[in-house]
Structure 1
Amino acid sequence: MKVGERVEKDEPLFEVNTDKVDMDVPSPATGVVSAILVAEGATVRVGEKLAVISEPGSQATREPGVQETRLSPVVRKLLAEHGLDAAAIQGTGAGGRITRDDVLAHLAQRGAPQRKVVPFSRIRKVTAERMALSWRTIPHVLQAVEVDFLPVEEVRLAAAEAWKAKEGFNLTLLPFVAHAVCAAIREFPNVNASVEGDGLVLHGAVHLGVAVDLGTEGLLVPVVKDAGNLGVADLARRMRGLAEKARDKRLSADEVSGATYTISNSGKFGTLLTAPIIDPPQVAILSLDAVTKRPAVVGDALAVRPIGVLAQSFDHRAFDGAYSASFLRRVKEILEGRDWARDL
């Protein structure tokens, strides 16, 4: 959005970031942007004016943006002559203002290999803060089990074509793992809990956080509410819908809050084992890594099976290794022993 641009009603004007979600703010009316009142990246209070939209044809005074007012005519001319972006130049003048010498120094350095500082995106910054806090305050323990995914894969592959034709997306292993996790939590409720003071809060429902990779921006963790009451097909649909909204930055605050247990899927990257970091106040997080064909002992014979690793990081304050291991063993038993055909 720039001063002088025409906008239509409901057209996205700019993006607002909170500590939970990013969202586009639509234009409340059709008109021309006559003023931008805050700088990009600034922190503002709820209800504060951000911009002015004038009616088409009005004589509203055009006010330059904040960045534009901080540039002298000489600096503007230099930037225009050399095709430079002011945002790429560190100002040394009063209040960070860009001076003529700043531009000339920048030009002198062009072409030479330079160390580049890439500022964290808002999502990356929040992720970094939360993960650092988790690592400092939670005694993490990692346990992992190998799972023979043959029973799941036979059903998934048999249903793949019809599923894709009906639903419009591929059926993956993730909803099967999520279903097994929710089933095992019924027998091991301490896994679905939060640390509060000197106690453990056991949650009656499983609100399943599913990590969604946003590339260099970081990740978001939308939440499948009441996941324990959903079948494999519904879990797949919910996860797909939330992942699409996360990548399109359309998640609501409610859709990224309230998780009681989280699953992270690194399998598509071919990883063998991942040690995920717990998202407090949760007490555990599970990673699904790549499922690949490997030789396995079945009975007294060798066979080629689709084998993958499930790794759980847990908060040692909440429960001990034996409890975590028993939970993982139960998830493994469900994945390897359930008749999955009835779930589709």
Structure 2
Amino acid sequence: MSTIELKMPKMGESISEATILNWLKKVGDPVEEDETILEVATDKVDSEVPSPCNGVISKILFEPNEVVAIGSVIAIIAADGEVAQKETKKEESSIEKVQEKESSSASLPKGEMSTSSGQRGQFKVIGSSENDGFLSPLVISIAKKENLSIEEVQSIAGSGEGGRIRKSDIIGYLKNRKYPLPSRPQQPQVSKSTYKAPPISFVEGKDRIVEMDRMRKMIADHMVYSKHTSPHVTSYIEVDVTNLVQWRNNYKVRFQEKYGEKLTFTPIFVEAVAKAIQEYPMINVSVDENKIVVHKDINIGMATALPSGNLIVPVVKQADEKNLLGLAKQVNHLANNARNNCLKPEEIQGSTFTISNVGTFGSLMGTPIINQPEVAILALGIIKKRPEVITTDKGDEIAIRSMMYLSLSFDHRVVDGFLGGSFLRKVGDELEAFDTNREI
């Protein structure tokens, strides 16, 4: 019988695992080549995994909500239309399942870990303030099964990016594990806050409860993490974008007829931000403990609202290397993919600076939260016409101008007021000095 292994596909750089969301086929179901078999999730993107061939699903090796390493076999397909009988129970994959521990040591209850001092504790999930940040759900799952202490896991040398502990590291450690384990000094316990959250009133029959979906939970965790990590400071300026607005109104129809692309304000904003970053590169950085990582690439994230109401940040890569047409094409492509829920993992990764156009929703200005691990985010308010005092050759006059507020939130650990204010003013100057003589 000819069989094909269906593996968890690669979904972008630095992604080492994915969560199975839903199987669209079951054991015994026929499939066609390129037909979607299951849905998986990595970070903020849900992706579909197609069948590599025509055939029948013979085995399914992982259940929904299980975390699987990239490249692991997740199903077996009987190719060439050969029918495989349905299995009465799921077979465990020898590739992905860790062998039962041969040690005769007593095991602890599920979900607990042994410590060098004989006490018990709980593993923390990624994102917890008490976690070291390098333990994936897959590594934690293996550690629980093998009754490894958190100190023991952290002692393993990680071969992943930034020293991250991978599945192969922990399995290699288990094969060469020695007993008894050397004792390690226990870390002092940090006292937790005794503050109790105020109760939430709920009126039966009037109020309703809505469960957060997976993406909303991740957004919530990311926002709380950002506020805990970065001391936020927000600065504001007001800019006169009258000339920019007039130029765009004059050329938007011709631009679409010539290039088949809409000319929105977003590529113009991205262009101005990229030019400002070139002059102030220390705004295009990340913080790694006591080190500052200065990014050479200028990758601008665009905070985008999805039809579900959730938020996602597709990224315009190498924004400084694109002209206005290139930026418009990239912005429109990412916006369309976001609206249709078909963004690729690599299209939401690698941003070094983010903009959020809060004016789209009619907001005058905003105080945006930094998109970690960046150190600044720019909010662009609504463009409104109003009377302004301007200086002309004849003196001061009152004129109708198109005005807009810009607000920059920055990480005060590494961005001081001078840098943040200078960068923000540079963005404003680029928008106010927009060349109305430029041709499309």
Letter in 2 for 1:255: E
Task: Give the conservation status (yes or no) of the 8 Å contact 2:307–2:339.
Answer: no
Q: Could you tell me which residue of structure 2 aligns to residue 328 of structure 1?
A: 424
Helix, strand or coil at the partner of 2:239: strand
Map of 1:155 onto structure 2? 247
Give 2:219's aligned amino acid.
T
Secondary structure of residue in 2 paired with 1:160: helix
Residue identity opposite 1:173 in structure 2: F
| DSSP 3-state at the match of 2:413 | coil
What pairs with 1:1-344 in structure 2 (closer than 5 Å)? 1-3=24-26, 5-19=29-43, 21-33=45-57, 36-54=60-78, 58-63=82-87, 115-121=208-214, 123-216=215-308, 218-299=310-391, 300-342=396-438, 344=440
- Number of residue pairs the alignment of both structures matches: 298
Which stretches in structure 1 are left out of the alignment for 5+ residues?
Answer: 67-111
1:325 counterpart SS class: helix
TM-score (norm 2): 0.61
TM-superposed CA distance for 1:157, in Å, is 0.8
Inter-partner Cα distance in structure 1 for 2:30 and 2:341 = 24
Q: Contact 2:30/2:81 (CA < 8 Å) preserved in 1? A: no
Q: Deviations over 1:227-272 (max 9, x none)?
A: 1122222111111112223344444443322221111122221111
Deviations 1:75-120 (A, max 9, x none): xxxxxxxxxxxxxxxxxxxxxxxxxxxxxxxxxxxxx667333232
1:9, distance to aligned residue in structure 2 (A): 0.8
Q: Deviations over 1:32-76 (max 9, x none)?
A: 44665443333233344444544586442235899xxxxxxxxxx
Map of 1:106 onto structure 2: none
Say which SS state the counterpart of residue 385 (structure 2) adopts: strand
Q: 8 Å contact 1:203–1:260 — kept in the other structure?
A: yes
What percent identity do the matched residue pairs reach? 41
> Residue 21 of structure 1 aligns to which amino acid in structure 2?
V
Q: Deviations over 1:184-221 (max 9, x none)?
A: 22222221122233243332331212222224362222
Q: 1:65 to 1:209 in 2, by over 3 A?
A: farther
Task: State whether residues 359 and 365 of structure 2, in contact with CA within 8 Å, keep that contact through their aligned partners in structure 1.
Answer: no
Between the aligned partners of 1:31 and 1:296, the Cα distance in structure 2 is 70
Q: CA deviation at 1:14?
A: 2.2
Question: Contact conserved, 1:195 with 1:281, CA < 8 A, in 2?
Answer: yes
Unaligned segments of structure 2, at least 5 residues = 1-23, 91-204
Supply the AA of the counterpart residue of 1:19: D
Contact 2:262–2:328 (CA<8 Å) still a contact in 1?
Answer: no
The worse-fitting range, judged by mean Cα deviation, of 221-230 and 198-207 is: 198-207
Superposed displacement of residue 337, structure 1 = 1.5
Are the equivalent residues in 2 in contact too, given 1:231–1:343 (CA < 8 A)? no
Q: Which amino acid aligns with 1:30?
A: N
Counterpart CA distance in 2 for 1:26 and 1:145 is 49
Higher RCO by CA contacts (8 Å cutoff, separation 6 or greater): 1
Q: Distance in 1 between matches of 2:211 and 2:257?
A: 42
**Runs of 4+ residues over 6 Å off in structure 1:** none
Measured in 2, the distance between the counterparts of 1:56 and 1:328 equals: 61
Q: TM-score scaled by structure 1? A: 0.77
The one-letter amino acid paired with 2:52 is: P
- Contact kept in structure 1, 2:36 and 2:50, CA below 8 Å: yes
Partners of 1:305 and 1:25 lie apart in 2 by: 52
